[in-house]
Structure 1
Amino acid sequence: MSDTNGFPIKRCTNIKRLDGKTAVVTGANAEIGFHKAGELARREALVIMACRNKNRTEAAKTKLLSLFGKDKVDWMKTGMADPCVVESVTPIKADQVMDIDFLK
């Protein structure tokens, strides 16, 4: 998580664990969204990466899984053009996720 593209970055000092929480992170395959997803996974939340590009998302998911372990990161194809993104996410993952605690 140290690749900052030349910009200084300060790690979140909040150490509160997020066990049992589910976060949907839009744009989680790059830049700020990727770092948000990583921080949430580091703090033990289940992270659902909501992204459009399958290849970029699979690569980002692989990197996050290698850093934070299995079963903490999943992804689904979605675009922000859908005004009901939460409603479109929930049925697809309903067998895995009961409630969405964060939408980033």
Structure 2
Amino acid sequence: MTEGQFTERAADLDRDGRNAYRVAGETDDPSTRIIRGVEEIVGRSAEKQTWLYDSVDPDALDAIFEEKHDGTTRTGGKVTFTARGCEIIVDADGEILIYGPVTDDEK
């Protein structure tokens, strides 16, 4: 991954005509990492800056993956949803995968 890049291509995880990307930035909230990753893959949305709200409540998503009240990390579980043509998978271990839009040659 190069400086300033938020996604890393994960070709071994490609599926259903979609390119897979891992999202970096373990110190950021999941919603921030998702926004940066999707915009890096498909580009910024000039007409709508709040596109993530169309798919999921970013505050609720972040809360799901916060530490527990006793300070321990959460284990198990994941959330999967689509936004801007991408399939997004957020794992409890902090990994975020984004499957880009279906490529033209797979339609």
- What is the TM-score normalised by the length of structure 2? 0.28
Higher helix proportion (structure 1 or 2): 1
- What is the TM-score normalised by the length of structure 1? 0.29
| Structure ID, larger Rg | 2
